[in-house]
Amino acid sequence: MGTTRIKVIDLSSDQKKKVTKVSEEKPEKKAETKPVAAPAVKPKAPTKVRTRGKKYREAAELIDKTQTYSAPKALELLRKVSTAKFDPTVEIHLNVADKNIRGKVSFPHSPGTKKEKKYLIFSEKKTDAKNVIWGDQNSIAQIEEGKLKPQRDFDAVITSPKFMPQLAKVAKILGPRGMMPNPKAGTITDDPEKILAKSDEDSYEFTCDPTAPIIHTKLGKLSYKDAQLSDNLKALVLAVGQTKIKKAVIKSTMSPAIKIDVASTT
């Protein structure tokens, strides 16, 4: 607490005494700082462990994971480890050297129903072709905004050279999905009808997964004969290039995977 002093001044006998009070300022109190409590850390939810069914585990035990099987042995084993009650699809998964690998393959035996391809075409020559979106400047803006999505609204892009500078705006969107037009793929042309005519042929496109250098495709149904599946596998290996394949596994729907030696197909 501060003290208060009183000073009396006598100006004259006829005047009243004036009293002046001088107060000492009280020292400011420092604000008390309370310790800030650390934010509560929520305990992490336990990671769910994926468990396989008994039949799958028994089938997986038939496969030597350290071994790479020849094509005939892999196909023979594939039939033993299949647990599906329906006619499953035979899948092949190739780890390749370059994520930009893509191309077409003509299978000797159709692996299944061919998906109708949808095209986004930038050209002044317009036709009444099916499964075609005719692109313009507005289409490019829609791709940027996510209103027109690759692999949902269209599967490939064809353009005339005139539109290439405008398509550069969406190269970061189309490029990683292998849809950016380029001369090697023949998707830059003044005559898109030729490409549309070729798409009707019995050929299948293969491309890498957007996130990794892996090609996923199918060879047919498990009900196919071994010779048919082997022929399709051989055609795929030749189309991709054996030297570009680092690893390959074959499996059917819901079955464990089997390492396969692609060199044994040629």
Helix extents (H) in 123-225: 137-145, 164-167, 171-174, 192-199
- Spatial neighbors of 78 by CB under 8 A, at least 6 apart, are 90, 222, 250, 251, 252, 255, 258
pLDDT at 131: 83
How does 86-101 read in b/e, with b if 16+ C-beta sit within 10 Å? eebbbbbbbebeebeb
How many Å apart are CA 32 and CA 51, to the nearest integer? 56
The topology (CATH level 3) of 119-190 is Rossmann fold (3.40.50)
CA-nearest of 197, 212, 125, 199 to 156 is 199
* pLDDT of the chain, 266 residues: tens digit per residue: 555 555 555 555 554 444 445 455 555 555 566 666 666 666 666 666 567 788 889 899 999 999 999 999 999 999 999 988 899 999 999 999 988 888 889 899 988 766 678 899 999 888 887 889 999 999 999 999 999 999 889 988 999 999 999 999 999 999 888 889 988 778 899 888 877 776 655 578 888 888 899 999 999 999 999 999 999 999 999 999 999 999 999 999 989 999 999 988 76
**Given phi > 0 = left and psi -120 to 50 = alpha, else beta, which region is 142?**
alpha
Domains 54-114+204-265 and 119-190 share a fold: no
**CATH 3.30.190.20 assigned to 54-114+204-265:** yes
Going from N- to C-terminal start, the domains of the chain cover 54-114+204-265, 119-190
Helix extents (H) in 42-136: 54-60, 71-81
CA-nearest of 78, 100, 89, 68 to 240 is 100
Instruction: Classify residue 218 by burial, with Cβ atoms within 10 Å: 0-12, 13-18, 19+.
Output: middle
